[in-house]
Amino acid sequence: MYAIIENGGKQYRVSKGDVVLLEKVAAQPGDTLSLPEVLAVESEGKLHLGKPYLENASITARVIGQGKAKKIVIFKYKAKKNYRRKTGHRQPFTKVAIESINFAQ
């Protein structure tokens, strides 16, 4: 059984026991999250699709921790104009473990 969820404009294929890096959520490690934005669920060989979300499905996840991704360097440059700008960005994330996929047909 797996589900496709949406979080932060991205889609993730998750199963029970998976560890996923989601967009930052205000939660402490050990907290339980409910993710209601379920796009599709595969159960017993059948794929159930939402329009756009399934109303009778949700994902229960446990927060493992917070963190920041690897730094991305942004370098702007214009040839022959002595224009150079270097900045960086580290995207914050929340690491969660999928505990269960709740789906009622």
The confidence score (pLDDT) of residue 65 equals 96
**Domain enclosing residue 67, as ranges:** 2-103
* Mean confidence (pLDDT) of the chain: 95
The confidence score (pLDDT) of residue 18 equals 96
pLDDT at 105 over 90: no
Q: Residues of the chain with pLDDT > 70: what percent?
A: 100
End-to-end C-alpha distance for the chain, whole angstroms: 14
Q: Based on the structure, what is the number of domains in the chain? A: 1
CA distance 63 to 77: 40
CA distance 99 to 105: 20
Question: What are the pLDDT digits (tens) for 26-69?
Answer: 999 999 999 999 999 999 999 999 999 999 999 999 999 999 99
